[in-house]
Structure 1
């Protein structure tokens, strides 16, 4: 019976960081879709963190629906960060 290779701590840390970045982007989507007031400190902080994390994805796919545009812009960025973190975890783990 072959022994399973365990994950290194570096791989777990990289995956966790990618997941955290994706959570910030998804939280921004949820806060905007539920129309949380921008005067709220949490919503403003999440927006401030999500905008630079979205990289080049905002406007990459154009739609006429504002909610769908938000999902494309920040949802693709969240998927990108999870994918990049997963690939880096494989390389360094």
Structure 2
């Protein structure tokens, strides 16, 4: 019978970082969908943090509509970060 192995601290840290990055990207999508004013300090900070985290995804898919474009760009980036950090956590865990 194999003993259950606990998750290492490094794996937990990597998973947490991926969650925070994906949450930032999704929060930016929510702000765009709800029309939250970007002049607001929170929305502006989230946008500034989300843009570099989107990496090469902005413009990869042409959605035609501005809101759909933001959903595609930042949604794909969020999925990417969750998958990559999940894989890294599995490797280091």
Q: What TM-score results when the alignment is normalised by the length of structure 2?
A: 0.96
- The unaligned stretches of length 5 or more in structure 1 are none
Moved over 2 A (4+): none
Q: Is 1:21 equivalent to 2:21 in the alignment?
A: yes
Question: What is the CA RMSD across the aligned residues, in angstroms?
Answer: 0.8
Taking the aligned partners of 1:4 and 1:92, their CA distance within structure 2 comes to 16
Structure 2: segments with no counterpart, 5+ residues: none
The equivalences for 1:35-74 within 5 A come to 35-74=35-74
- Which residue of structure 1 aligns with residue 83 of structure 2? 83
Per the normalisation by structure 1, the TM-score is: 0.96
1:65 positional shift: 2.0
